[in-house]
Chains A and B, each alone.
Chain A
């Protein structure tokens, strides 16, 4: 893989920085120049490690699912009170340092990229399953409500979760 030179960066940190950038600017709106600047690693290393911007985006989405979406879903799944479960889901779903990455990927990339579509589906299924204990058969409908609420939160110019913080 490498040519005897040790990697002078943390791959997880690079993926995290890229995820935050993709979440703030979208996939098309993020150039390789932006990624090089935000991650602080050489362009050559970026290509060597990830292969392409698309692969880096897929890694960012995978990371966001594992670090944010699934833990948030697990916390919601522990709530059986409908009101509490809904409030917690709206507050925590698709949140974190790359808040909105899933929503954006769903709107921008999933229709053209089956691998993105599969990851988005995984995230939405996790939300539906998490709302199961509180809502039973109505969980899918409530999941749509949560997604809609997250979209409306993102549309606010003063979104509190830091999604609009410019890197």
Chain B
């Protein structure tokens, strides 16, 4: 589970990895400039697709996908236990990751928050 928030002063999207997921993902926090956030989508189905190669972190199929993965030449960061609440955040090429796939408490609210933050730019 990740807590997504928008820092409007610094124009950043921050993802705080919650609880033990920090250990599984080998990451506690990600900061992305809003200018590098291309969009957010609630996408439960993505968890059924192959994850690719685990670069760092944890992959217990059906239990947790957390950490850095590489698939089709793309770099993904995952933190998902419950696929129903998975949100995909697409990033610009300049970022370390092409895509974040994170579980959030309220996917609808998180998607709206991110999409509104980048639409107003």
Contact = CB atoms under 8 A, between A and B. Distances in A.
Interface of A: 1, 3, 5, 31-33, 36, 42-44, 47-48, 50-55, 112, 114-115
Interface in B40-81: 40-46, 49, 71-74
Given A31-B45, A44-B74, A47-B90, A52 B119 contact: no
A154 B75 CA distance: 44
Nearest to A37: B45
**Main SS at interface, chain B:** mixed
B37 to A, nearest CB: 9
Prevailing SS type, chain A contact patch: helix
Interface residues of B, number: 23
B47 to A, nearest CB: 11
Contacts, number: 56
Given A5-B73, A44-B71, 6 more contacts: A32-B46, A32-B88, A44-B99, A48-B90, A52-B39, A54-B115
B9 interface: no
A52 to B, nearest CB: 3
Contacts of B46: 32, 43
Contact of B115 (A33, A50, A52): A52
B73 A48 contact: no
A42 B72 contact: yes
Contacts of A5: 73
B45 A52 contact: no
Interface string B81-121: 00000001010010000110000000000011001000100
A52 B41 CA distance: 5
A32 B41 contact: yes
B69 to A, nearest CB: 12
Contact of B41 (A1, A48, A53): A53
B97 to A, nearest CB: 12
A55 B39 contact: yes
Contact of A47 (B42, B44, B88, B112): B88
Query: When A and B form their complex, which 3 residue pairs have the shortest distance between CB atoms, in order from nearest?
Result: A52-B39, A51-B39, A51-B38
A32 B98 contact: no
A166 to B, nearest CB: 19
Contacts of B41: 32, 47, 52-54
A114 B119 CA distance: 9
A54 B74 contact: no
Contacts of A32: 41, 43, 45-46, 88
Nearest to A33: B45
